Structure 1
Amino acid sequence: MDQRIAQMRLNDPWYVRYWDWLKGILGCFRLQCDFGQNRSGQDVNQLLGNAAESTLRLVLLATILGIVVGIFFGVMAAIRQYSGFDYAVTLVAFVFYSLPAFVFAVLLKEFGAIRFNNWLAAPTFNAIFIVVVSALLALFMQAILAGSAKKRLIVAAATFLASAGIFLALDVTDWVSNPIAGLWIEVSTGIAAAVLFTALISNIKNRRALGIALGSAAAMVVVIVAFSGVIADPSWVSLLGILLLGIVIAIALALFFGGYAKRSIMWASIWTVVSIWFAMLADFLARHWVDYIELVRGRPISTIGSVSPNFRGADDFWLNFLDTTTHLILPTLSLTLMSVASYTRYTRSSMLEVLGQDYVRTARAKGLPEHTVMTRHAFRNALLPITTIVAFDFAGLIGGAVITEKVFGWKGMGELFETALRNVDPDPVMAFFFITGGIAVLMNMFADILYAYIDPRIRR
């Protein structure tokens, strides 16, 4: 006890100890933070760095996916208010929102990892699975597109046949165990992304816009082929450099050939290039999938930890990336689905409020296309309250999803805080509150800056 009292300086007055701690924190202005030591004598700076890196990997991906998916479903539910799609989205959102985190995480471990790894030993798609999943996808697609009954029936039938065909092809080719990788992934993604983002951001009837988006896709594929040697054994700097080069080419094409709609064409082209870059990552991960399966003894989806201990493929970039990715799947999915539930409800509510405003009715009365009314008049204004929620949620998640990290054995900020609190260890707890509190302030400041970008009236 005397040794511990001396080590933690408990005989010194509290204000002396606090002042010494504060001097270490003030060093952050010189980029020389000193958060002290834990009760075992370990440097808290190092502990905090490792925990923050682990949590950021988990939280950043979960937050981005939650925002994108949640906002998409929220907008579609608002547009299809009181339809079957709206009721279905509302039901699923409330189910995920009300599920306790520890229950959902344990269910994911059982069905998303243990049983899925068992299935990977001899992966087959039986007829019942193909029919049920294809039918659900058909219902989903026809609900999103809406329109006349004939149009919805055609979309549902096409989706069902396409989905069933894909599952049959996966079964026949044994694609799950031995993926057929190659440049076709980037090419098909580029064509689909060019059409999709031109339709969403610009106008699918604008042939110039579609041509430039497809040209940007072709240019990005050429860049990937030209740097294939670098991509075979890359670093994150080189991969990001390839992405940046593709974006620069897309911007140049839009500026030189975009005409009157060059801004919307530029964004459609940029997102097309980004999609191809992610497809490139998927392509090279698929090329290394078989080797990774052998290294992890046929059980790729991990249930605990952020990396495999003593992983033999750590020297290979793609094998190491695969190991990190497979460890991220379950905890990210757990956090994402719960975030999607809240973002969906907030987005739906905000969109419905905006759609009832006078300026939206005026835009429709002027004869503007519904696509323009939704994206430029309604959605942008509906983003204001969502921006506030995203800032608070991200700041909260940086503090560590304590329950999720506990279930999945993730050594992040939540685990650091929980361990320090249990051990009555003041310096890690103080560092935790300093970092999470500082990020909360920064994220709210960032949200205020975004307000001015979203709503020009705020700039005045």
Structure 2
Amino acid sequence: MLRFTLRRLFVSIFILLGALFIVYNLVAISKDPLADILESTAPNKEQLIAARVELLQLDVPAPARFFLWLGGILGFFIPTFDDPNGLFGFLGNNFSMGVNIANQDVGPLIASAVGQTLQLVTAATLIAVVIGVAVGVTTALRQYSGYDYTVTFLSFLTYSLPIFFVAVLLKQYMAIGFNDFLQDPEIPIPLLLLIGVIMGFIFMSIIGGPAKTRATVFGAGAVGTIAILFGMELLDWFRNPGLGTVLIIVLGLATVLLTAALTVGLSHRRNLIVTGAVAVVGGALWYPLQFAMTNEIGAWFPIALIVAFTVIAWFVGKYFGGLDKRNVASNAAIVGFVVSLLLVIDRVMQTWSGYYDQTGGRPIATVGASSPQLGSDPSIWLQMLDGFTHLLLPTIAIMVISIASYSRYSRSSLLEIMNQDYVRTARAKGLPERTVVMRHALRNSLIPITTIVAADVGAIISGAIVTEQIFGWRAMGSIFSESLRNVDLNPLMGYILVTAALTVIFNLIADILYSVLDPRIRLS
């Protein structure tokens, strides 16, 4: 495994260097960086030309200039030991006023843009992969059903929609419309019934089965949805949201049942007892944690809480798991992660009322990455809520289109695997359908999905240019478009360096995952 990884890493480094060299030279010869000065009538034109030639080292041929730029990155030719930008090293200076103030170090500019892009695309990518694969698997298992046809239609519809159209719809109905709804959060009875019927049909389509089962699921889904929405309206939950101990325990136990159904089965009593205990203990921690999660704590606390509770839950499952301790420990860790995440979400929800007042009753943002009304030193909980409200719309815009592609790929991949001989053999041996699908078929069907996700992650991190423009985010896409328009080489190459490196890294991760999913790959 180590030899396989080192071999892929060695090849990836040369691929990255080759890509940087080609792009650098193509951009360098695409336009004269002195064109704006040559066309000007400034009396000191000669001095301006000389200054820019010295700044950008234009007296050096482009191929040789690339190695000077690369030397600055690596610290070989230009000392960078005192560079405060750390990871981004010496990326040179820009000259275009369109990107930043002229003659400024590109490092901080790229560092800020990378941070904004990672905020924008990380959640969207993770959620899209999880939901897309889950939807694709369920449609493959329910092939040619009404649910399959409906999901296929919606997938092609959303995939064909342009991102700017989706963004405009989200702004109008999910931001402006929801903000208007919060002024008087009352759901009309006809709309309440319509939502219940729609959710009933969705649950019925997913579960399937005989007519009696479908009717039962439809009724339970519709009535349950109406009851939940009516209770939220009655308790003024939309203006004062929260989870509390009871709801956290209920959601934790729902996670227990879901993980058990997908892994060891609902008949595994020890797994249900151990993971159920983790959910109950996590929910019981809600009250004492209210005294610990104050406004004065730092950003480390929610991260430490989630990591610590997840690790402790894993050890609990490992210790009390019995003969099947590996699966029990994994399920306990998943439940611990979900419950601890719910504890953090509940604490963030408690700041909603104050945030609603600070934003003038318009909490769902349509532009920008933060709200200026929060003051100079907001609490970590208020910062998390503000970040969520600004990330909500662009994340959904990216996620909706990504889910459509992931669901189609995962569906076709699983259908192909389900027709293989070893799957039929596993069924012939009498293995439960859950084991056949989750342990044998799904693992192998994830190999092509891994390829697609690795390629998409590199592309998404390079910048969602249209999304950033619509929602007013200054991230990697904005840097790219402005630098390319002005042929400002140093910011553009900083962008290329980061995106190419991340693309190569994720493709390397995909190669490693191939060998994990199928050991025959690393042996070959």
Shorter-chain TM band: over 0.9
Matched, 1:243 2:306: yes
> What TM-score do the two structures reach when normalised by structure 1?
0.96
- List aligned pairs for 1:345-360, cutoff 5 A: 345-360=408-423
Residue of structure 2 in register with 1:26 after alignment: 74
Supply the AA of the counterpart residue of 1:457: R
Supply the AA of the counterpart residue of 2:272: L
For the 8 Å contact 2:167–2:470, the answer to whether it is kept is: yes
Matches of 1:98 and 1:449 in 2, distance apart?
32
Residue of structure 1 in register with 2:111 after alignment: 49
SS in 2 for 1:232: coil
Matches of 1:261 and 1:176 in 2, distance apart?
43
Unaligned runs of 5+ in 1: none
Matches of 2:366 and 2:218 in 1, distance apart?
36
Matches of 2:159 and 2:248 in 1, distance apart?
36
For the 8 Å contact 1:59–1:332, the answer to whether it is kept is: yes
> What TM-score do the two structures reach when normalised by structure 2?
0.84
For the 8 Å contact 2:410–2:449, the answer to whether it is kept is: yes
Aligned-pair CA distance for 1:203 = 1.5
Matched, 1:114 2:181: no
Residue of structure 2 in register with 1:35 after alignment: 91
Residue of structure 2 in register with 1:343 after alignment: 406
Query: Deviation string for 1:219-262 (max 9, x for gaps)?
Result: 33455555443322333322222222212221222222212221
Query: Deviation string for 1:274-305 (max 9, x for gaps)?
Result: 11122112211221110000000000111101
- List aligned pairs for 1:304-319, cutoff 5 A: 304-312=367-375, 314-319=377-382
For the 8 Å contact 1:313–1:320, the answer to whether it is kept is: no
- List aligned pairs for 1:378-457, cutoff 5 A: 378-457=441-520
- List aligned pairs for 1:252-331, cutoff 5 A: 252-312=315-375, 314-331=377-394
Matches of 1:109 and 1:32 in 2, distance apart?
35
Matches of 1:56 and 1:4 in 2, distance apart?
38
Matches of 1:218 and 1:85 in 2, distance apart?
34
**1:165 pairs with one of 194, 217, 227:** 227
Supply the AA of the counterpart residue of 1:8: R
Matches of 2:143 and 2:336 in 1, distance apart?
34
SS in 2 for 1:41: coil
If you compute each CA radius of gyration, which structure gives the higher value, 1 or 2? 2
For the 8 Å contact 1:194–1:272, the answer to whether it is kept is: yes
Matches of 1:290 and 1:310 in 2, distance apart?
14
Unaligned runs of 5+ in 2: 1-36, 38-44, 82-86, 96-101
For the 8 Å contact 2:413–2:448, the answer to whether it is kept is: yes
Aligned-pair CA distance for 1:6 = 3.3
Query: Deviation string for 1:68-126 (max 9, x for gaps)?
Result: 01001000110000100000000110011000111111111111111221121111111
Matches of 1:452 and 1:226 in 2, distance apart?
45
For the 8 Å contact 1:185–1:279, the answer to whether it is kept is: no
Aligned-pair CA distance for 1:397 = 0.5
Residue of structure 2 in register with 1:144 after alignment: 206
Matches of 1:439 and 1:252 in 2, distance apart?
34
Aligned-pair CA distance for 1:179 = 2.0
SS in 2 for 1:8: helix
For the 8 Å contact 1:181–1:287, the answer to whether it is kept is: no
For the 8 Å contact 2:302–2:344, the answer to whether it is kept is: no
Matches of 1:221 and 1:108 in 2, distance apart?
34
Aligned-pair CA distance for 1:210 = 0.2
For the 8 Å contact 1:134–1:159, the answer to whether it is kept is: yes
Aligned-pair CA distance for 1:267 = 1.5
Query: Percent same amino acid at aligned positions?
Result: 39
Q: RMSD between aligned alpha carbons?
A: 1.8
For the 8 Å contact 2:244–2:286, the answer to whether it is kept is: no
Choose 270-279 or 393-402, whichever is displaced more: 270-279
